[in-house]
Structure 1
Amino acid sequence: MKPIWKWIIGISGALLVIILGAAWYLSNNYKPLLENKLKDLIAESSDGLYSLQYDELDLNVILGNITLSNAVLMSDSVVYEQLVAAQKAPDNRFHIALDELKVRRLGIMGLLLNKKLNIGTIELAMPKVHMISQPHAFNDTIKDEKTKTLYEQIKDDLSSISVDKIDFTNIKFSHTKIADGKQSTMELDSVQLHIGDVLIDENSDQDTSRLFYTKTVDLSLPGFEYDLPDGFHRAKFDQLHLNTQQRNLFIGQVSFAPKMSKAEFFKKKGVKTTMAILQVDSINLDGLDIARLIDQQKIYAQNARLKNGSVSLYMDLRYPSTPKSHIGNSPHQQIMKLEQSIHIDTVHIDNIDVLYGETSKKYNQEGIITFNKATGIITNVTNDTIVLQKDKFMRADLRARIMNSGNLHAIFGFDMLSKNGAHTYKGSLGAMKATAFNRIIKPLVNVEISSGNIRKVTFDMAGTDYRNWGDFRFDYDDLKIKILGSKDEEGKRSGKGILSFLVNQIIINDSNPDANEVYHIGKVEYKRNPTHSFWKTLWQSLLDGIKQTAGISPEREAKLTQAGRATQNASTGIKGAAQKTGGFIKGLFSKKDKDDTDKKDAKK
């Protein structure tokens, strides 16, 4: 072997010994410095609120690996109260415990020579995160002092921090909210969180491609259930997935429903109220402004899609009502009242079934009306007044199969900035059999539609908090109804032939145009009952149009009574039947107050 190779081997061996020795020295002597620096950094950056404890810190300088075992980051309650008194306390504090923290491929040389902290991966195994939220009024006020950026906080010790990947596996997360002396807790288990390409330097906070210094955050939640504080309802979903790079939020198998049966719900409520059940296979938010969602709890997105589901609403009229005014509670007014700011360009409704069921107080039966396979879009869904200055209308264009039979198309326009709830609604209903409505009419008013062909319905209406008005057109033929009697021993209802005959012959036109070729148009002018909801008011307005187009008027009811008197010699029961029928018509078609009738007569 030539002498030069001996020198090379000797020098290389000496360098290796020096490097290994240095690594051993750093591993054994730099470890205390690292531990102290880490603890001091945590304490200083949190004003003494947080402290770090762990069982073991293992440092391998050669490989750039650090392992922290049984680590706990906790807040000091005494320090927190001191910060509250000084009006410096944050609204949120954390208690974090994890089995193991692994840091891999930490660039020691770059850290020592250039103050650049470069890390390959950080893995946190089985972390338990407890977040405590306690809002303080002083955090809502605007502060004069400018908050330091993360880089400004580290620049004296480091010129940059970069991490290729951070993995949180099987997070157990709990959130406790303390407000107004009350405390509530929500828990999540088996949460997965993956963060990619983290960079903190003098320019990274200006990088619009990053969210909180990261390129990608991918969050997955498994099934979740939450019992609402009202004690009646439970909300849950089977899956939630958030991706910041795609700006997408997906929630699967969403439901909101009472925790009890329908009968038990109404019994416990004890008053007339509405029970709601919501089920949706999937909710998607695209173009989501995640920074605004996290920082300001504001929901801003380009599109939302509700796909495959149902909305069921039930009411039991057998329970006493608690009359209250519904003025100011229309759908668009409710959105404007939300404490949380919201702006969604377009909401897509895709295959949602809507059902309304009502149990009659008199007949103890439930009538049901359905709007099947509802689809459509709702645009400009927002309560942001700045956005509404450009376009103040929220619009809905919806289609459905009413009673799974006729094609219904409705278009709504809601003036979001109106002080009196201004809105418009127009639409049409295609050809269908009138008998399809027996499912709601028969149980509620003990009347059955024997026959009837609906050829077309169109309406063009407007409304406010106090009245609805517009045109209603109803084309139909062969309309006949049957008034039912009481049930016999076998549970069957007999028909009251004379009443049915009088109604069909005297009260209702069996077609429009009628037998005299006169086409009746409903000119609706409906004064709202303040205790009626928005939707009930809408229905009552359309019902007024139905009455007018069907030829039902006070004069025709008077003729029915006269007919009863004229035939009383033939049958002593006719007069009573006629009077009952007049009362029935008033109940069936929800006649207006006498003042409204007098106004119409005055116009004539």
Structure 2
Amino acid sequence: MPEPIKGKRRGTKGWLWVGFALLVFLISALIAEQIIEDKLPKRLQSAISKESEGLYQIHFGYTKVNLWRGQFIAKNIHLIPDTARNGRLKKGGQTTLFELKAKYINVAGFKLLKLLWHKEINASDVIVSQPIIIQYKISSKTEKNGKNIRQQLRAIKNKIVIKKITLSGIQYRTIDMQSKKETWLKNINFHASNIKLGQWAKQQDSTRLGLVESFRFYGKKVIYLSNDELYKLQLARLDISTEKNTLGIDSFSVVPKYTEKQWSKTLKYKRDRYDMFFPKIEASGLDLKRWLDEGCLKMDSLVVNQAIIRVYADKGMREKKTTASNNFPSLAFQRLKVPITINNIYIKNTDVYYKELNPKSGRAGLVFFNNLNAHLQHVSNDSLQLKQNPWIKGSFSTFFLGKPKLTLNIDFNMLDTLGAFHYKGVLDGAPASFYNQLLEPITLARAEKGYVNSVRFNITANRYGANVETEMLYNDLKVAVLDASSGKLEKKGFLSLFINWLAIEANNPSKDGKPPRIARHYYKHPQEKTFFNLMWKALYSGLKVNLGLPEI
């Protein structure tokens, strides 16, 4: 009988040793966890300071390490740039610095053994809550030999793999340290999967989107403030997805800071005021891989539906002496640093309003285009694409002032250094008095009688001027010249009589059987005036010839 008792003691003793070993292991793990928890923040601070040459310091309000779960939690994180040290570095330091604040960071599935044995950082999930990213633009010069962010991430010595990363409630600000102007963007979320950085990034296959396998950029009630603080851009919904290669925007509005009256009184120089609303914008066929790999943005189609665009101009505001022709659409598009190609842009059922205040009459004239539909093809500034086809072609149809139909074709030569473009169109007929809503406040004239049968125009232009050809057919036209000196628009009887008898032809073609008067001349464009001013003034100069006034 003693033998069984001895065996039982041995079994009990063995279990005691196992329990003791487990207890030692647990205590060691807890001690190791505490040591790591105490030393990890300091090591991170030291590593960041060393790698950035003292440009950045990081601080944590709270950290927690759980070895069992492979979890690292940090709260109230703050990455701070040292702008003073940046100025003392060789070659003038960095042209851009970043500051980062985050309320909460949770790293789950952290593989500590892989880090210790293989120098590989591996995590299953990273969540960053309410990050605030501030970009400081130190100077406008470009770094010729500097690496961009993607190149710096690829150059990291360790292998870094993160299965999922989510940034929620992002706020992004840019601050120009020279002009002190700011822009900010908020209420954005970002999600990416299968991120590979450092040495892993060099081994990625051709199907990946740069450093990630897929990502989604989205948000609700997104707000962006322009750097001049004159406009606030608001989006009810923004969604960019690599899975569907689409972009969707709902209720995008451009809201000016001041009313029309405040705009004229507040701004120092003349500027057009924009107030715009786009219920829905959709893009399909986004080539996001090419954008991330090559920096080229390409999409199959962009659709804008039922937009409302309002533009206001006060002719009484002081003009700023600038060369506005430098900003003709094709020239400004050529200067964009990002190559863009959109195969088709569709604008559907859109209304455009242009309101201009004339200080002489004290009244504002309103030009508007209802139910505008347009199709633009090959919208590109990519030099490779333009070698094959340099033209952007657009066709428009709309109702001018809500009634006569206007059809317009406009083409831009994107390789022409002078911003060459061509436009032609036809405006259907309407009573001459119909245009008084525009003529009276802007030109101080009134059509009292007559009918405009049609207007045709064909104009080839660049930043310096236009070759104009117009034909306006009308009959029984009679106009009155108005005077606004009394505070009211009153008819100038004698001058009106003179104009109708000696200046303006009542009919085109005339009743004596002569062919219609067709304007063919060159219009010289003032360089301080805008693209739309050229389009309107060139056409207007031709219509004056059609009316029988001296050719200019």
**TM-score, L = length of structure 2:** 0.80
Q: Following superposition of structure 1 onto structure 2, how do residues 238-317 of structure 1 map, counting pairs within 5 Å?
A: 238-239=235-236, 240-256=238-254, 258-269=256-267, 274-288=272-286, 301-317=299-315
CA contact 2:183–2:226 (8 Å) conserved in 1: no
CA contact 1:488–1:494 (8 Å) conserved in 2: no
Q: How many Å apart are 1:415 and its aligned residue? A: 2.0
In structure 2, runs of 5+ residues without a counterpart are none
2:524 match: 528
CA contact 1:524–1:544 (8 Å) conserved in 2: no
Q: Which deviates the most, 517-526 or 55-64?
A: 55-64
Q: Does 1:514 align with 2:484?
A: no
1:432 match: 430
Q: Which deviates the most, 498-507 or 29-38?
A: 498-507
Partner secondary structure for residue 536 of structure 2: helix
Q: Does 1:409 align with 2:411?
A: no
Change (3 A) 1:31 1:521: farther
Aligned-partner Cα distance in 1 for 2:8–2:439: 105
Q: Following superposition of structure 1 onto structure 2, how do residues 65-214 of structure 1 map, counting pairs within 5 Å?
A: 65-76=71-82, 80-82=86-88, 84-85=89-90, 89=94, 91-98=96-103, 100-107=104-111, 117-135=121-139, 137=141, 139-141=143-145, 150=154, 153-155=157-159, 161-171=160-170, 173-180=171-178, 182-200=179-197, 204-205=201-202, 206-214=204-212
Aligned-partner Cα distance in 1 for 2:325–2:151: 44
Q: How many Å apart are 1:272 and its aligned residue? A: 5.7
Aligned length: 538
Aligned-partner Cα distance in 1 for 2:338–2:400: 34
Residue by residue over 1:511-569, the C-alpha shift from the partner in whole angstroms, topping out at 9 and shown as x without a partner, is 4443234431514112314255443333333234434444x155xxxxxxxxxxxxxxx
CA contact 2:95–2:142 (8 Å) conserved in 1: no
Aligned-partner Cα distance in 2 for 1:108–1:326: 60
Residue by residue over 1:378-413, the C-alpha shift from the partner in whole angstroms, topping out at 9 and shown as x without a partner, is 334344444433322222222221111112111112
Aligned-partner Cα distance in 1 for 2:513–2:76: 89
Q: How many Å apart are 1:52 and its aligned residue? A: 4.1
1:27 match: 30
CA contact 1:326–1:530 (8 Å) conserved in 2: no
Percent identity among equivalent residues? 19
CA contact 1:284–1:305 (8 Å) conserved in 2: yes
1:234 match: 231
In structure 1, runs of 5+ residues without a counterpart are 156-160, 555-590, 593-604
CA contact 2:472–2:543 (8 Å) conserved in 1: yes
Q: How many Å apart are 1:441 and its aligned residue? A: 0.8
CA contact 1:237–1:252 (8 Å) conserved in 2: no
CA contact 1:75–1:95 (8 Å) conserved in 2: no
Work out which of the two has the higher radius of gyration on C-alpha atoms and give 1 or 2: 1
1:219 match: 217
1:539 match: 536
CA contact 2:409–2:425 (8 Å) conserved in 1: yes
Change (3 A) 1:28 1:186: farther
Aligned-partner Cα distance in 2 for 1:56–1:102: 12
Change (3 A) 1:447 1:216: same
Q: How many Å apart are 1:243 and its aligned residue? A: 3.1
AA at the equivalent of 2:123:
I
Q: Which deviates the most, 446-455 or 321-330?
A: 321-330
Change (3 A) 1:285 1:41: farther
Aligned-partner Cα distance in 1 for 2:511–2:109: 91
Aligned-partner Cα distance in 2 for 1:288–1:241: 12
CA contact 1:468–1:524 (8 Å) conserved in 2: no
CA contact 1:176–1:183 (8 Å) conserved in 2: no
**TM-score, L = length of structure 1:** 0.74
Partner secondary structure for residue 214 of structure 1: coil
Aligned residues: CA RMSD? 4.3
Aligned-partner Cα distance in 1 for 2:268–2:142: 42
Q: How many Å apart are 1:440 and its aligned residue? A: 0.5
1:62 match: 68
Aligned-partner Cα distance in 2 for 1:151–1:324: 45
Q: How many Å apart are 1:439 and its aligned residue? A: 0.8
CA contact 1:164–1:196 (8 Å) conserved in 2: yes
Change (3 A) 1:68 1:401: same
Q: Following superposition of structure 1 onto structure 2, how do residues 467-482 of structure 1 map, counting pairs within 5 Å?
A: 467-477=465-475, 479-482=476-479
Aligned-partner Cα distance in 2 for 1:68–1:127: 13
CA contact 1:92–1:131 (8 Å) conserved in 2: yes
2:52 match: 46
1:357 match: 355
Q: How many Å apart are 1:332 and its aligned residue? A: 1.8
CA contact 2:154–2:199 (8 Å) conserved in 1: no
